[in-house]
Amino acid sequence: MSEADASVRRAVVADEADVSRVVKEGGIWRIRSLSAARQLLRARGQTTQAGFTAESIPKGHFRHHPILISDGPLHDEQRRKVGRFFAPEVVSQQYLGAMEECADRLLAEATASGRVQLDELALHYAVEVTAGVVGLTHAPVPAMSRRLVRFFNQPPLDRSRPDLGRTPRQWAQAAWNGLVPIAAFYVADVRPAIRARRRQPAGDVISHLIEQGYSNADILVECVTYGTAGMVTTREFIAMAGWHLLTNPALAQRYQVAGTQERLAILHELIRLEPVVGHLYRRTQDEVSVRDGDQEWTIPAGELVDVCVRQANADPEAVGPDPLAACPGRELPTGVNPTGLSFGDGSHRCPGQPLAMYETDVLLTRLLRLRPRLLSEPTITWDHLIEGYQLRGIEVVTTR
Ligand code: HEM
């Protein structure tokens, strides 16, 4: 069977090159070898964040640099401090109950009509669960979800150009599309939460940031990060994993009888196959050398490097034969994470992975118990900021 025959990947970009494993193309270094990508992402102190338009964000305005776009020892320190909210044991001990309650309630509401709009349900669920951890508990979830989704409505980017290929008009549009929902998010969600936590700390991320002396503007930026990096990404993955399980009866059956570790292994394989964030970008600050097999490349300082996550995650040298098939528990060499690079690697590696995975598991386990049947397949569109898929219109009828 050829590689293409064995593919069950749904989020496929037409004409996406997958030939050269490390190459400089159109002014950008592209890395599609998982091993070389990992070395680049782990080159501590030698690269800086260049994704999510980080290089166009003026950092001077912030007293504390935003976690997603900072680098160096202060960033390491920041991560160490927020790490305690996201460690796997913290997630399973502190947040599992709230996730279960939220999933049961939202599923009961959605199934009252017998039909579940899975992508909508996933959005409200992911926003509510993350909001609880962060401390954004002041506004109704559907309204906050709308504000976060609107933020993603951004014009396209051409990362090979210093102006990101946007005309002044498109930059103005990007600022408008981004700033209006952020202003609304601040007034309706973030400011009331800060006021309440200043009066009475509540053991959540916002209370922690206040304790660390963050200003309101600094806290807003962190909340936007958690809102977009945490809530919107998890929503897409829940819809994607649900779509795979609803259309693969053997996998769904295995999922339903499996224990927690095996269910998580299935989800890890699905997110390796269908990464939500398609590309990670770094700017080299020093010369960085990466090896792939017996070849070595030296990337000079000052270069933009694009880690192509979809291709790296399907690199047969790292993940073995049939890289585009869903084989939970596949044999992987030491050092290769079962999720590939779907949660990044190195100093910016996603701290929210355990939360996202448990969260997905809690909802899908409950959905599958309702003996769901797929009514309509989703449409796939692509987001410009994280270069990931967006699934919309996935409708399910429940029969129990
Ligand atoms: C399926 C869901 C998720 C996916 C696919 C995802 C993916 C990622 C990726 C790829 C990065 C690394 C970016 C880079 O290296 O440039 C990242 C960073 C981050 N994620 Fe997640 N994430 C998810 C869920 C979450 C959740 C639930 C939270 C927290 C509530 C979260 C919080 C963050 C934060 C704060 C960062 C920035 C870390 C840093 O730059 O040091 N993520 N995420």
**349 Cα to the center of ligand 1, angstroms:** 7
Looking at the CA of residue 341, tell me the nearest atom of ligand 1.
Answer: 10
Residue 235, C-beta contacts closer than 8 angstroms, at least 6 positions apart:
119, 122, 123, 125, 126, 127
Report CA(138)–ligand 1 centroid distance (Å). Answer: 23
Q: Is 243 in the pocket of ligand 1 (CB under 6 A)?
A: no
Number of the ligand 1 atom closest to the C-alpha atom of 225: 35
Please indicate whether residue 129, judged by its CB atom, sits closer than 6 Å to ligand 1: no
**CB neighbours (10 Å) of residue 92?**
14
Looking at ligand 1, which atom is closest to the CA of residue 79? Answer: 41
* Geometric angle at alpha carbon 233, from 231 and 236, rounded to 5°: 110
241 lines ligand 1 (CB under 6 A): no
DSSP SS3 for 341: coil
CATH 1.10.630.10 fits 22-131+234-398, yes or no: yes
Nearest alpha carbon, ligand 1 atom 21? 350
Cα-to-centroid distance, 139 and ligand 1 (Å): 23
Contacts of 123 (CB under 8 A, 6+ apart): 145, 149, 231, 232, 235
Contacts of 397 (CB under 8 A, 6+ apart): 114, 115, 116, 372, 373, 375
Rounded to an integer, what distance in angstroms lies between the CA atom of residue 3 and that of residue 320? 11
- pTM, to two decimals: 0.93
| H helix intervals, 112-232 | 118-134, 141-151, 168-185, 191-199, 205-211, 216-225
Residue nearest ligand 1's atom 4 by CA: 233
- Alpha helices (runs of H) in 200-232, residue ranges in sequence order: 205-211, 216-225
Pocket test for ligand 1, best of 279, 350, 358, 389 (most atoms within 8 A of CB): 350
pLDDT, averaged per 10 consecutive residues of the chain (400 residues), comes to 72 82 94 98 94 70 74 88 89 94 96 91 96 92 88 67 73 73 90 96 93 91 86 95 98 97 98 97 97 96 96 96 96 96 96 96 97 96 87 93
C-alpha 225 to ligand 1 mean position (Å): 9
Return the closest-CA partner of residue 29 out of 311, 308, 286, 295: 308
* Dihedral angle computed from the Cα positions of residues 16, 18, 24 and 27, in that order, rounded to the nearest 10 degrees: 0
Does the C-beta of 124 come closer than 6 Å to ligand 1?
A: no
SS3 123: helix
Does the CB atom of residue 283 touch ligand 1 within 6 A? no
Among protein residues, the one whose CA lies closest to atom 7 of ligand 1: 343
> Is the shortest distance between the CB of 224 and ligand 1 below 6 Å?
no
Q: Where are the domains of the chain?
A: 22-131+234-398
Alpha-carbon distances, residue 312 vs 28, 108, 281, 316 (angstroms): 16, 39, 14, 9
- Which pLDDT does position 1 carry in this prediction? 43
Instruction: Tell me, in angstroms, the distance from the centre of ligand 1 to residue 5's CA.
Output: 32
- Residue 63 has a pLDDT of 66
Residue 62: what pLDDT?
Answer: 63
